[in-house]
Chains A and B, each alone.
Chain A
Amino acid sequence: MERTPITVSALNAYLKAKFDADRQLGDILLKAEVSNFKRNSSGHLYFSLKDENSQVSAVMFAGPAASLKFRPKDGDRVLVEGSVAIYVPYGQYQVYVRKMTDVGTGDLWLEYERLKQKLEAEGLFRPERKRPLPGFPKAVGVVTSPTGAAVRDVINIIGRRWPLARIIVYPTSVQGTEAKDSIVRAIAKANADARVDVLIVGRGGGSIEDLWPFNEEAVAYAIRDSKLPVVSAVGHETDFTIADFVADLRAPTPSGAAELVVPDRRALLDQLDVLARKLDYVLAKTLSAARDRLSSVASSYVFRTPERLLEKASVRLAHLDERLDLVRPDRLLADRKANLGHAETRLSSRFMAILAAAGYAYGRCAGRLELVNPLSIMTRGYAVIRKDGRIVRSVDELVQDDHLDVRLSDGSADCRVLAVRKGE
């Protein structure tokens, strides 16, 4: 009897086909505990599902894993829906998980959702309720366990960044049933302390049950009623508690909260340095601008040759001086005196000239008068004949027997016309 060998691949492929054909394996519901939990970089989850006696490999791909309502970890008791199939390269069968719920906390999640919706409806999460943190807190209150990692982280970070603030720890229990009342009391106590001006409320990482006090209604109201701004810092970055939604600011971790509540001293020293350098720079610029203005003014001609500034003025002054000189009273008087003297001289010389001229003219006139003096003419033998008082100049004025008065140089004679003869 001859048998034909088959390959490993053929065997695995055959089994895979058998598995895939099985209705039961195509849709199973499994109750188990998670162990060897790993999340790879693409978001796929690889883990084992086990009970007291047995275990099976499981994979949940990133797609369905995104809708998980909790963060699976080793030891979680879960309910799994999925299928069973052969992984051909390894010849291993595994559970392909479609849905997984946390059996241990299933009721808690329901409670979480219910409370979240209620408080949201009451307006506890509204953004306008969020108060700003003080920029430079004098004292930071920390509501947490005094023995946990959280308080150490907060002290270390504040001590490094801002040792100028005081830290006041308000100790509280942060897990277990008594924790919620303890947290509420600690928040109230911090609020009663006038020294504190910002509050960190939180704890380090843990299971959902460990973090549960921060999902309690009483804690949510205590945070709402706090007069001090509250920074919540519960667990890890992926943990969101009700306290985170109510708080004025949510920090991913207690360390993160410490960084949010205080400034960084080194950063401020750097900022001061920048400001001081800006001061120097701006003043230097202002001074050099002023210096430039000064030197441009100083190099103008009036400063290089200041006498030129006086030039115009001195010309004017000289001019004025001259004009003033002209109206000086003593000068005026002297001028007038001189003018007067001058006039006198001119007048007297003129007068003399007139006199001289007059004397000359008189001499000549006298001579000429002598020539026309009728008496002197008469002495030369001429007579003046008047008829009825009027001088006779023509024989036409005479008729025979006219009586005439004939005047000579030394007397006169009454005469009678004997005859008149014309043109002789």
Chain B
Amino acid sequence: MAQEQELKFEEALKRLETLVRELEQGDLPLETAVAKYNEGLALAKRCHDLLKQAEEVVVKIADGETLQDFPKQRE
């Protein structure tokens, strides 16, 4: 679901920022640094994919008890 993926985006971005910060402190053993780098790379890719997935915003109108498609904009 798109909603879950957005939640994941926020967490993934936070995790990515944490990883970069940890790596920047620079006193990690090499194996740990490489592992964190790989994790960060995967997160960056995932975030990127999540951001790219939606092309057009979905608009609904709460008309009565149900949601209807919001009429497209007329030019």
Is the contact region of chain A dominated by helix, strand, or loop, or is it mixed?
Answer: helix
Q: Counting CB contacts under 8 A, is A398 at the interface? A: no
Min CB distance A19 to B, Å, is 56
Please pick, from B13, B17, B44, B67, the residue contacting A168 in the complex, using a CB distance under 8 A: B67
**Is A164's CB under 8 angstroms from B6's CB?**
yes
CB distance from A148 to the nearest CB of B (A): 13
Question: Assuming the A-B contacts A164-B54, A278-B24, A282-B20, are A155 and B59 also in contact, with contact meaning beta carbons closer than 8 angstroms in the complex?
Answer: yes
Q: Tell whether A275 pairs with B16 under 8 Å between CB atoms, given A171-B62, A286-B26.
A: yes
- Kindly identify which residue among A135, A171, A285 contacts B26, using a CB–CB cutoff of 8 Å: A285
Which residues of A122-180 have CB atoms within 8 Å of chain B's CB atoms? 135-136, 138-139, 146, 152, 155-156, 158-159, 162-171
Q: List the B side residues contacting A287 at CB < 8 Å.
A: 30
- A275 and B57: CB pair below 8 A? no
Pairwise interchain contact A169-B61, C-beta atoms closer than 8 A: yes
Interface size on A, residues (CB 8 A): 40
Q: Are A158 and B57 in contact (CB under 8 A)?
A: yes
| Pairwise interchain contact A272-B51, C-beta atoms closer than 8 A | yes
- The reply to whether A279 and B51 contact each other, CB–CB distance below 8 Å, is no
Contacting pair B51 A166 (CB below 8 A): no
Q: Is A327 an interface residue (CB 8 A)?
A: no
Residues of B within 8 A of A278 (CB): 20, 23-24
Q: How far is the CB of B37 from chain A (nearest CB, A)?
A: 4
Shortest Cβ distance from B59 into chain A, in angstroms?
4
Q: Name the residue in A138, A170, A290 with the highest tally of chain B Cβ atoms < 10 Å from its Cβ.
A: A138
Question: Are B44 and A272 in touch, CB under 8 angstroms?
Answer: yes
Could you tell me if A269 and B63 are in contact, using CB atoms closer than 8 angstroms? no
**Residue from A146, A164, A168, A169 with most neighbouring chain B CB atoms (10 Å):** A164
B residues contacting the other copy or chain, number (CB 8 A)? 40
Q: CA–CA, A13 to B7, complex, Å?
A: 76
Chain A-chain B contacts (Cβ-Cβ < 8 Å), number: 113
Instruction: Kindly state the separation between the CA atoms of A287 and B32 in the bound complex, as whole angstroms.
Output: 12
Q: Quick check: B10 and A166 within 8 Å, CB to CB?
A: no
**Bound CA span A162–B59, Å:** 12
Q: Is A290 a contact partner of B30 (Cβ separation < 8 A)?
A: yes
Q: How far does the alpha carbon of A269 sit from the alpha carbon of B45 in the complex, in Å? A: 11
Q: Which residue of B lies closest to A138 (CB)?
A: B3
Q: Closest chain B residue to A160 by CB distance? A: B57
CB of B73 within 8 A of CB of A152, answer yes
Are B57 and A167 closer than 8 Å at their CB atoms? yes
Q: Are A168 and B62 in contact (CB under 8 A)?
A: yes
- What are the interface flags for A266-288 relative to B under an 8 Å C-beta threshold, 1 for contact and 0 otherwise? 00110110011011001101110
Q: Identify A146's interface contact among B16, B41, B54, B61, CB under 8 A.
A: B61
Q: How far is the CA of A165 from the CA of B56 in the complex (A)?
A: 10
Which residues from chain A contact B67 at a C-beta distance below 8 Å? Answer: 168
Check A286–B53 contact: CB distance below 8 A: no
Among the listed B41, B51, B62, B73, which residue makes an inter-chain contact with A169, where contact means beta carbons less than 8 Å apart? B62
Of chain B, the residue at the smallest CB distance from A156 is B73
In the complex, what distance in Å separates the CA atom of A159 from the CA atom of B20? 31
Min Cβ gap A233→B in Å is 17
CA distance A146 to B35 in the complex (A): 51
- Shortest CB-to-CB span from A236 to chain B, Å, is 22
Task: Mark each residue of chain A from 188 to 208: 1 if its CB lies under 8 Å from any CB of chain B, else 0.
Answer: 011001010000000000000
Cross-chain contact B6 with A169 (CB below 8 angstroms)? no
Contact in complex: A136, B54 (CB < 8 Å) = no
Decide: B62 and A275 in contact? CB cutoff 8 A: no
A138 to B6, CA, bound (A): 7
Cross-chain contact B73 with A155 (CB below 8 angstroms):
yes
Residues A272 and B48 in contact in the complex (CB < 8 Å), given A164-B53, A165-B57: yes
Are A166's CB and B58's CB within 8 A?
A: yes
The answer to whether A275 and B51 touch (CB under 8 A), given A138-B3, A146-B61, is no
A166 B26 Cβ-Cβ under 8 A: no
Residue pairs across A and B with Cβ atoms less than 8 A apart, 26 shown, are: A136-B9, A155-B59, A158-B57, A163-B56, A163-B57, A164-B2, A164-B50, A164-B54, A166-B57, A166-B58, A166-B59, A167-B58, A169-B61, A170-B62, A268-B47, A271-B13, A272-B48, A275-B17, A276-B40, A278-B20, A279-B44, A282-B37, A283-B23, A286-B30, A286-B33, A290-B30
A sample of 4 more A-B contacts (CB under 8 A), given A158-B57, A286-B30, is: A138-B7, A159-B56, A166-B59, A272-B47
Q: Return the 8 tightest CB-CB contacts between A and B, nearest first.
A: A159-B57, A282-B23, A163-B57, A283-B37, A276-B44, A163-B54, A169-B61, A167-B59
Q: Using CB atoms and an 8 Å cutoff, list the residues of chain A in contact with chain B.
A: 135-136, 138-139, 146, 152, 155-156, 158-159, 162-171, 189-190, 193, 195, 265, 268-269, 271-272, 275-276, 278-279, 282-283, 285-287, 289-290
